[in-house]
Amino acid sequence: AQTVTQSQPEMSVQEAETVTLSCTYDTSESDYYLFWYKQPPSRQMILVIRQEAYKQQNATENRFSVNFQKAAKSFSLKISDSQLGDAAMYFCAYRSGDTLAGSYQLTFGKGTKLSVIP
Amino acid sequence: ETGVTQTPRHLVMGMTNKKSLKCEQHLGHNAMYWYKQSAKKPLELMFVYNFKEQTENNSVPSRFSPECPNSSHLFLHLHTLQPEDSALYLCASSQDPSGGYEQFFGPGTRLTVL
């Protein structure tokens, strides 16, 4: 079974600075998808960024980028120019690429609570 | 409305009550999910429905009973719950396999069992 580990329960960053959230995962598969989700306080969980394992290029979405190290099974999220609205719980998630298995399950880490200091 | 909606947003119930949580997605997706989110634990997948057919049940106790009458609606019927069932219950939907596997989440129902 796949597992996802987020080793930082809480982190903080100064506004306008850069912060990196770590995520490692365990799998025997070669085809899979990785996600970072953001859950602001009392608000809906939304997708921040997605990475397909077969792509060597790291995904980027504006101020958000990932460092995907497939061999090391590491998938960290970098937030540049942090803003107050970035304060939230961040969840790393794994999804098998085996569509024939018929499973759409996402496996989530426990989350990292990010605080942004004005 | 757009996206994924859930009602009620908050629910307090006794252990002998029967209640239902409702989820509706307005995205035309084919798959819907129920998750349980407890403090300091990873999100736990409870049920998956694809085109109204249940495809996964992750060993969820029978006091939780899902219902998916069509691809847009998903219910979670609750009866004789325990205090440890208090949690945030999240509904999600996705378009698989063509939708890039992104799941869209609702705001959740905060359930308290007394």
* pLDDT in the model for residue A84: 96
pLDDT for residue A63: 97
Out of A95, A103, A110, closest to residue B56 by CB: A103
Q: Are the CB atoms for A107 and A2 separated by under 8 Å? A: yes
- Strand blocks (E) in A15-98: 19-21, 24-26, 32-39, 46-52, 60-61, 64-69, 74-79, 88-96
CB-CB under 8 Å, A110 with B45: no
The pLDDT value given to residue B100: 63
| Structure tokens belonging to residue B4 | 């994924």
Structure tokens belonging to residue B20: 């239902």
Rounded to the nearest 5°, which phi and psi values hold at A65? -145, 160
What span, in angstroms and rounded, lies between the C-alpha atoms of B102 and A13?
Answer: 28
CA distance A46 to chain B (A): 7
What is the model's pLDDT at position A87?
Answer: 97
A94 touching B (Cβ < 8 Å)? no
pLDDT at B1: 53
- Chain B residue closest to A100 (CA)? B97
Q: Do A44 and B31 touch (CB under 8 A)?
A: no
B3: Cβ contacts below 8 Å, ≥ 6 apart: A44, B25, B26, B27, B104, B106
pLDDT category, B84, cuts 50, 70, 90? very high
Give, for all 118 residues of chain A, the pLDDT tens digit. 689 999 999 999 999 999 999 999 999 888 889 999 999 987 889 999 999 998 889 999 999 999 999 999 999 999 999 999 999 999 999 988 765 555 567 889 999 999 999 9
* Contact between chains at B50 and A110 (C-beta distance less than 8 A): no
CA distance B101 to chain A (A): 8
pLDDT in tens, B2-50: 699 999 999 999 988 899 999 999 999 888 999 999 987 888 989 988 8
Q: How many C-beta atoms surround the C-beta of residue A69 within 10 A?
A: 12
Q: Could you tell me where the DSSP H helices lie in A32-110?
A: none
CA B9 remoteness from chain centre: 12
Reading phi first (left if > 0) and then psi (alpha if -120 to 50, else beta), residue B100 is in: left
Q: Is A111 on the interface with B (CB under 8 A)?
A: yes
Residue B40: the pLDDT is 74
pLDDT at B97: 62
Q: How far is A45 from chain B (nearest CA, A)?
A: 6
β-bridge partners, A22 = none
More confident residue, B70 or B59: B70
| Cα(A83)–Cα(A106) distance, integer angstroms | 28
